[in-house]
Structure 1
Amino acid sequence: MNPLIDFPQTPFGSLAFDTIEPAHFMPAAAHWMNVARERISAITSNTEAPTFRNTLVPLEFASKELGVVSSCFFNLNSAETNEDIQSIARELSPKLTLFNNETLLNEALFLRIKTVWENREEEQLDAESARLLKETYEGFVRNGALLKGQERESLKSISEKLSKLSLSFGENVLKETQAFELHVADAEELAGLPEATIASAASLAKEKGKQGYVFGLDMPTYISIMKYADNAALREKMYRAYGTRAAKDNEYNNEQNIQELVNTRLAKAQLLGFDSHAALTLSKRMAKTPETV
């Protein structure tokens, strides 16, 4: 049984992480993408006039399970990754990007959403429903639904490139995080740290065949040291190591990825009618424009 397809009964619908294995992710993602496509097809083939009830509501739930699977996977990839997980990420990310492009650039689907948006006054929606309609309509527009012809194809290519660059960037950061270790021999240097953090470092040192304590750059360890350690030198070492991940002169350096991300984000923003990536991003924030910031 795949617990990401046949979700077990758990308190509050929480995921049964103790039963989830890496091999479950790709079949589950493929399954729920197909289900979502069928649900979206049912929306677009509906012969009734578009309404909030027959368009926005089913769309909101069309990819619910896929969202659960992808959220589970990418959280795991960030928190406790390994080569198997990263291999899956390289396969899954492009498929999710393709699915998102299919959905957000689905002309028949957007036409129904646009019709509901234009007739929103007649719908007499409550505040929550009106908010969902607004966010959905604007989300489609901001992701190229109003583009035509070659511009649509360009946006698809840009989205795929951004997905690959973001994945590569994240992989480099993760590998640098995993490669780092700080060996401390003297327990007196650990004053102020919680017992659990010290015990974990002692266990890691033993696992690596070293005396004393070994600290990694995982978030629980990093936060514990930065928050509780009396030793300023220890805090500085961790701070500098954390802040310079993938910025050293080695195979994990992200400089090229950053340059390409900046240029590709600019190309996307300009294709969507904005002067810069900052303008695109801030248009949905309180500041609204880069000039305000």
Structure 2
Amino acid sequence: MLRKTHLALAISAAMLLNGCSDAPEKQTTQVEATDKASAKATSTNDISQNPFFQEWNTPFGAPPLGDIKTAHFLPAFKQAIVEHKKEIDAITENERPADFDNTIAAMELAGSTLTKVAQVFGNLANTESNDEMQSLQREISPMLTRHRSEIRMNEALFKRVAAVYDNRKSALLNAEQTRLLERVYNSFVRSGAKLTGEQRAEFAKINERISALTTEFGQNALNDSRAFTMVLEESDLAGLPQTQRDAAAAAAAARDLPGKYVITLNRSSVQPFLEFSDRRDLREKAFKGWANRGDNDNEFDNKAIIAEIVELRAKRAQLLGYKHHSEYVLTNSMASKPETAMDLLLKVWEPAVAKAEQEREWIQELMAAEGVTHKLEPWDWRYYAEKVRKAKFDLDQGQIAEYFELNNMIEAQFYTAERLFGLKFVERTDIPVYNPVVRVWEVQDKSGKAIGLFYGDYYARSTKRSGAWMSSFRSQQKLAGDVKPLILNNMNLNKPAEGEPTLMSYSDAVTLFHEFGHALHGLLSNVTYPTLAGTSVPRDWVEFPAQLFEHFIAQPEMLKKFALHYKTNEPMPAELLERIKQAGTFNQGFATVEFTASALVDMAYHQLTDVKDLDVRAFENKVLGDYGKPEEIIMRHRSTHFGHIFAGGYSSAYYAYMWSEILDADGFDAFLEKKDIFDKETAERLYQFIYSRGDTLDYFEAYQGFRGRKPTTDALLRNRGLD
């Protein structure tokens, strides 16, 4: 999730390519097919024929994705930048004294075409990537960064912004206008507007270089992941549940490998393999492929890129007067300073390590009982942890997956939104999509009025970055009329064979709910100004609405209603529900160490002040060795594929997931205390203070408005079994 101003939204959306994809198969996407079919019919350099400069006569004014070709993007970006510059010139050349309407509001309206182009491009670059799109990204990324720098360092424009800011107390602004003014002014300052002379030029040059490097990082991670495919025979499948075998067979069929089975580096493919495969040699191969993405000393290696990014971020922060990049980032967050974030991480780290050591003892006891003599290695942990889980709680993850079918889980998330906020979701088949697997729903409020569209893209493919995320084709606002949001959720589930159900792990179901929580944050946004809309908030606040929504799928009444066996449609048995509940904190030491290790390394990189000859492997080992990380557990995201911080918006902010977990665990207790997970009064406060507010309210004030008090860490530690 990225924090964006209206202008930054346009720029960051186009640059965003983070994480990696899962397989090397070549697919022809809808976008590519359209390109080939009509390449001769349309001159893509003719702006009058470019879809971005024509009226979109589609339902909701949704992007006409079937008409947009890859070749349309570059001329559209160039023309949109020209238009945006003219709009900025009109603001700076206004002879009237600067005020909120003719400067701040005018800036909000400016660049709308650029935002439109960038949002479509950013989504397709993340989901339908190919050589042409990647080449285009590398060209567009620095171009947009230059454009942003020119605007943020436009002295005449900043002079007007500063004048409005200096006169804010006498301007009779409302609370939302005041919030917007403060954000715009701070954005200019943090973008170098107060720098002079050579410093301005150096700052702009650093930004442009970082932009190019982060784009290259994401593409390397994607391409290195594609380069790995583990092709198996039926004799290699010992231990794998039928659902995993079916998914591997479907992946092989997609690569024209009949009779074979394929494991990719997509998490939904490789993680179950590590949990269930009896073949230790193959587990080791898969694990090392997964762990070493971007660290294979090949053309897609990311180590040198990381060293340069870290060095440039440190220099940029120091140009602005900050000690290091972490201080620069966190002064604009809920935590407010690195020490606060580190305090949280260390409070969690110590009990997590202790719990992981207990879990390791359980695993080693089981290994000894089975006569296993080899040392416990990282590629063994998940496998033996599943054996311990089954022995202690009689839980089989493969059996659990049989109750989590995708369509039922989609229905479950819609049901939750209806019970909480009165929303209704009506599937539409007349909305243009970029790939046939994408589904679209019209979202209606209690009165039946449409409030936006929700797109769901749930399956992995080689053209798609890994992971799960929420993004948008359009954000909500009222300044330019009643602009309705167009929100997109992405996941990377294994696509089953034709006619077969899409089964998912319990963890995948939680992720589905998490991303839908982000989607609701965008769909329910009810603000005037686009910069303040929806998810345009700091990292350590943006995860709170999403993580709170996760809790609903874990509740017994939800599982009874929607966790239905894919064959019999029978609900999950009560005794299985009870065993799941009892095992709720099992292996949480491992999971917490895995996550917190990544957050600690992120903070360590970005608190460096003098970066020279950075050895990425040695740095990881030194940082985590000093903290006493168990050697059998690695970082959830090793640096070389850590797209959150080196290709996304979470640098020095990966801790935000843990910070938000304090809020979501404590916040969901508000429903539990009412003994009704859909309590109307609590849901109304959740809507009023959280989901609808965007960035119009101080975050601590918003939380206390919802909860009635400040948050505590009690529920977080309890839920993770660390209390």
**C-alpha contact (below 8 Å) 2:230/2:263 kept by paired residues:** yes
Output the CA distance in 1 between the equivalents of 2:245 and 2:175: 49
Bigger Cα displacement from structure 2, 16-25 vs 228-237: 228-237
Letter aligned with residue 123 of structure 2: N
Other structure's SS at 1:124 match: coil
1:204 aligned onto 2:254: yes
1:131 aligned onto 2:179: yes
1:231 aligned onto 2:281: no
The answer for the alignment partner of 1:53 in structure 2 is 101
Query: Which runs of no fewer than 5 residues in structure 1 stay unpaired?
Result: none
How many residue pairs get matched? 288
Deviation at 1:226, TM superposition (A): 4.1
The answer for the alignment partner of 1:248 in structure 2 is 296
Output the CA distance in 2 between the equivalents of 1:235 and 1:41: 59
Q: Within 5 Å, which residues of 2 pair with 1:100-115?
A: 100-115=148-163
Deviations 1:96-119 (A, max 9, x none): 011011111001111111111111
1:152 aligned onto 2:200: yes
Other structure's SS at 2:338 match: coil
Deviation at 1:247, TM superposition (A): 1.4
Q: Within 5 Å, which residues of 2 pair with 1:25-174?
A: 25-174=73-222
1:267 aligned onto 2:315: yes
Deviation at 1:4, TM superposition (A): 2.5
Deviation at 1:34, TM superposition (A): 0.8
Deviations 1:181-204 (A, max 9, x none): 232433776526489955741432
The answer for the alignment partner of 1:12 in structure 2 is 60
Other structure's SS at 1:18 match: coil
Letter aligned with residue 138 of structure 2: R
Task: Summarize the Cα distance change of 1:280–1:213 in structure 2 as closer, same or farther, 3 Å threshold.
Answer: same
Output the CA distance in 2 between the equivalents of 1:56 and 1:201: 51
Other structure's SS at 1:183 match: strand
Other structure's SS at 1:273 match: coil
Output the CA distance in 2 between the equivalents of 1:7 and 1:235: 53
Task: Summarize the Cα distance change of 1:70–1:154 in structure 2 as closer, same or farther, 3 Å threshold.
Answer: same
**C-alpha contact (below 8 Å) 2:327/2:337 kept by paired residues:** yes
Letter aligned with residue 103 of structure 2: T
**C-alpha contact (below 8 Å) 1:192/1:230 kept by paired residues:** no
Letter aligned with residue 19 of structure 1: D
Deviations 1:144-195 (A, max 9, x none): 0011111101111111111121122122112112222232433776526489
1:191 aligned onto 2:241: yes
**C-alpha contact (below 8 Å) 2:138/2:215 kept by paired residues:** yes
Deviation at 1:236, TM superposition (A): 7.9
Bigger Cα displacement from structure 2, 171-180 vs 222-231: 222-231
Output the CA distance in 1 between the equivalents of 2:89 and 2:106: 11
Letter aligned with residue 5 of structure 1: F
Task: Summarize the Cα distance change of 1:84–1:49 in structure 2 as closer, same or farther, 3 Å threshold.
Answer: same
**C-alpha contact (below 8 Å) 1:193/1:229 kept by paired residues:** no
Output the CA distance in 1 between the equivalents of 2:298 and 2:142: 26
The answer for the alignment partner of 2:306 in structure 1 is 258
Output the CA distance in 1 between the equivalents of 2:262 and 2:319: 49
Letter aligned with residue 130 of structure 2: N
Other structure's SS at 2:90 match: helix
Task: Summarize the Cα distance change of 1:126–1:199 in structure 2 as closer, same or farther, 3 Å threshold.
Answer: farther
* Structure 1 length-normalised TM: 0.88
Task: Summarize the Cα distance change of 1:190–1:14 in structure 2 as closer, same or farther, 3 Å threshold.
Answer: farther
CA RMSD of aligned residues (A): 2.5
Output the CA distance in 1 between the equivalents of 2:259 and 2:55: 44
Other structure's SS at 1:147 match: coil
**C-alpha contact (below 8 Å) 1:176/1:252 kept by paired residues:** yes
**C-alpha contact (below 8 Å) 1:40/1:62 kept by paired residues:** yes
Other structure's SS at 1:214 match: strand
Output the CA distance in 2 between the equivalents of 1:30 and 1:125: 35
Bigger Cα displacement from structure 2, 246-255 vs 36-45: 246-255
Other structure's SS at 1:108 match: helix
Which structure is higher in helix share? 1
Task: Summarize the Cα distance change of 1:210–1:246 in structure 2 as closer, same or farther, 3 Å threshold.
Answer: farther
Paired-residue identity, %: 36
Output the CA distance in 2 between the equivalents of 1:237 and 1:193: 21
The answer for the alignment partner of 1:178 in structure 2 is 226
Letter aligned with residue 249 of structure 1: D
Task: Summarize the Cα distance change of 1:182–1:69 in structure 2 as closer, same or farther, 3 Å threshold.
Answer: farther
Deviation at 1:242, TM superposition (A): 3.8
Structure having the higher Rg: 2
Query: Which runs of no fewer than 5 residues in structure 2 stay unpaired?
Result: 1-48, 343-723
Task: Summarize the Cα distance change of 1:211–1:199 in structure 2 as closer, same or farther, 3 Å threshold.
Answer: closer
* Structure 2 length-normalised TM: 0.37
Letter aligned with residue 231 of structure 1: F
Q: Of the two structures, which has the highest relative contact order with CA contacts closer than 8 Å and spacing of 6 or more?
A: 2
Task: Summarize the Cα distance change of 1:188–1:68 in structure 2 as closer, same or farther, 3 Å threshold.
Answer: farther
Task: Summarize the Cα distance change of 1:257–1:59 in structure 2 as closer, same or farther, 3 Å threshold.
Answer: same
**C-alpha contact (below 8 Å) 1:204/1:213 kept by paired residues:** no
**C-alpha contact (below 8 Å) 1:266/1:276 kept by paired residues:** yes
The answer for the alignment partner of 2:667 in structure 1 is none
Among 317, 320, 334, the residue aligned to 1:286: 334
Deviations 1:83-139 (A, max 9, x none): 111111121112101101111100111111111111111222222222111111100
Task: Summarize the Cα distance change of 1:289–1:202 in structure 2 as closer, same or farther, 3 Å threshold.
Answer: same
**C-alpha contact (below 8 Å) 1:205/1:213 kept by paired residues:** no
